[in-house]
Amino acid sequence: MVRALGAHPEQASLPMVSSLAGWAASALDFGVYFDLCLASIDAQSSEAKEVGQAAIRWLQHRFLETKAARGRPTELQVSTLSELFYIGVERARFLRWLDTDCQRPLAIGGIGPSRLICATRELYEAWFTLGDVAPQLHEEIAIISPEVLLVRSDEEASTRFDGVSSFCLWGCMALNTDTHFNSWDYFCSLVNGSAHSLLFAFSRQQPLVLNPIDQRSNSPLREDQRPIDTVFHAAFASAREVWALKRALTHSGRLPGDDMDPRRTGLLERLRTSAGVFWRCDEQLARVAELSLLGEKILQESRDHVLSSAAVVRPLAVFDQRATDLMKC
């Protein structure tokens, strides 16, 4: 690695850490690993070499900081892409590994203080609601996706997005404040974003789908064709939304919006929408996906979760028909 970066040994040396007890990697730690991989793979590129050398310098400081030994958080860590939270090399790392499609850039950027305050308030209302209705999922997200970047997307962006995660920044999700208008929007995005990170963890040793990596398919959620595994991710994430929203619908305590919507019809519509997305993804996967054993197991468990919501609410036609077909099998 040092040779690939073109660095002298003394420049690449890292300080000794006396103990790693209780230490937990952050999203930026995962990102710096991929920075070094990029520099090693693309050793002839001056840009990649600069990224790698900056990564080594960052690591030298990282291991000297007291925060390097912090344990896994139990609550969300909320920030935005600004100098108030991150130095330039860190902001660049987030952007490098979150906005990876050069053909359809997301044009992610930070938000100002007033928007950050309002969005953080709504996000934490969603977070506490999740703790009330689904405490196990709440604890899981605190472990898997504790870092939330509140961002915006420039008007010039070619792709509109609600949230984005990256296995290169495991543990972090970026949520677009331009598309979130209340705490229930954040509630669904917390569930959705953490689901992607959970799949990244599940598939470390085995892929979810066995289709060729360059194969593309129509996606129920996108206008352009997408890799098959992104359709699988969308199916899993929407199934998790259904599960969480079902817990909210059947929760006996008060929830945000109950005064305006005592019958929780808004939550009902969200559940129906998420269920419809799942079945459209499931149908597409049945047509084109070659699932691994892991993928088959996860998808079947997702079907079971979505089917169980029929006991709470009469589903939409697409949900009803797909559920009927499956129960005949």
Does the residue 329 lie in any domain? no
* pLDDT on residue 7: 39
- Residue 326: band (very low, low, confident or very high) from pLDDT cuts 50, 70, 90: very low
Same-domain check for residues 101 and 50:
no
- The CA–CA distances, whole Å, from 61 to 15, 170, 275 equal 9, 21, 46
Residue 207 has pLDDT above 60, yes or no: yes
- Residue-range definition of the domain harbouring residue 30: 2-69
* Residue-wise pLDDT tens digits, 96-111: 999 877 667 788 999 9
* pLDDT on residue 48: 84
- Residue 67: band (very low, low, confident or very high) from pLDDT cuts 50, 70, 90: low
71/221 Cα distance (integer angstroms): 37
Same-domain check for residues 230 and 284:
yes
* pLDDT on residue 238: 96
Q: Where are the alpha helices (DSSP H) in 208-316?
A: 228-249, 265-288, 293-308
Does the residue 276 lie in any domain? yes
Same-domain check for residues 36 and 138:
no
Same-domain check for residues 256 and 298:
yes
Does the residue 248 lie in any domain? yes
Helix (H) or strand (E) holding 179, with range, is none
Residue 62 has pLDDT above 50, yes or no: yes
Does the residue 101 lie in any domain? yes
158/153 Cα distance (integer angstroms): 10
The answer to whether residues 150 and 116 touch, using CB atoms and an 8 Å cutoff, is yes
Same-domain check for residues 65 and 113:
no
Same-domain check for residues 147 and 31:
no
Same-domain check for residues 42 and 150:
no
Same-domain check for residues 28 and 140:
no
132/138 Cα distance (integer angstroms): 9
Count: domains in the chain = 2
Does the residue 328 lie in any domain? no
Same-domain check for residues 85 and 228:
yes
Which of the listed residues 69, 94, 115 is the one where a domain comes to its end? 69
Same-domain check for residues 30 and 149:
no
Does the residue 255 lie in any domain? yes
State the Rg of the chain over Cα. Answer: 21
The answer to whether residues 321 and 283 touch, using CB atoms and an 8 Å cutoff, is no
* pLDDT on residue 127: 97
Residue 261 has pLDDT above 60, yes or no: yes
- The CA–CA distances, whole Å, from 184 to 171, 188, 302 equal 21, 6, 22
Average pLDDT, rounded, for the chain:
84
Same-domain check for residues 31 and 154:
no
Same-domain check for residues 17 and 123:
no
Q: What tokens does 149 get?
A: 């970047």
Does the residue 250 lie in any domain? yes
